[in-house]
Structure 1
Amino acid sequence: MDYERARAEQKLQLQELENIRLEAYKNSRLYKEKVTAVHDKNIKRREFQPGDLIFLYNSRMRLMPGKLRSRWDGLYRIERVEPYGVFHLSHPSSSELIKVNGIRLKLFHSEKMARNQELEIFLLEDPTTADD
């Protein structure tokens, strides 16, 4: 008789444990959905059109030291847009088209530059030493 009661109690404990596991699974799924919704809401959509001027991220600059060196190359012009974020770029000094993922692009805001009449350019060069 004692075994029957222990067996029944063990079955209840296993069912309770299964219910806790299912509830934890449901809570985890709800949490992931909420986090995904918040993440997707904060993503800025960047849409580029053919003819836009853009900067191209140079990933090799990470290997070179220098805080003030720009990691953005430019200006490139978007010639063609393909599905899934593939862009064909042309540089004014060459006739080749470069095929690039859209994640590596940043829009050049030429309208702002056109409004500013005066533009000051700073060239970052290595400092000259007394020996030069």
Structure 2
Amino acid sequence: MSEEHQPRREEDAKEFAEEQASLFKITFGPLIWAVHFVVCYGLVAVTCAKGWDIFATRLGLVLLSALALGGIGWVGWSAWRQWNPSRTGDPMNRGSRAEDRHHFLGHAAFLLSIISLIGVVFVSMPLILIGGCQ
């Protein structure tokens, strides 16, 4: 009988750390989108209720939107590099090995980043298209 390779403690710790980072990476894009959403709508509501300068608020929120898009883009790029279908040749990652699960988590994080990017763009559109408080 052939002896199976039993992972060493260091290998297990490294694999666990990579998977933990992948799970956090999945949440970063939607988290940035959610924080951006709450800040934009909350600040515009307070600005209109208090009679503050809407144009200054709008400028600040447009800059915040650019930062949010940059952060989500960075998460998406990192997830793309983790998934990397051109290197593996398998965009679906059908296997049940640890490496396939690692690639799948990158794939999921990449797709969530795309959805989050679209969400930030749609939340930012009223900042540009709507004139002010009425």
Larger Rg: 1
Q: Common fold, TM-score beyond 0.5?
A: no
Question: Larger helix proportion, structure 1 or 2?
Answer: 2
Q: TM-score, normalised by structure 1?
A: 0.26
Q: TM-score, normalised by structure 2?
A: 0.26
Higher relative contact order (CA 8 A, sep 6+): 2
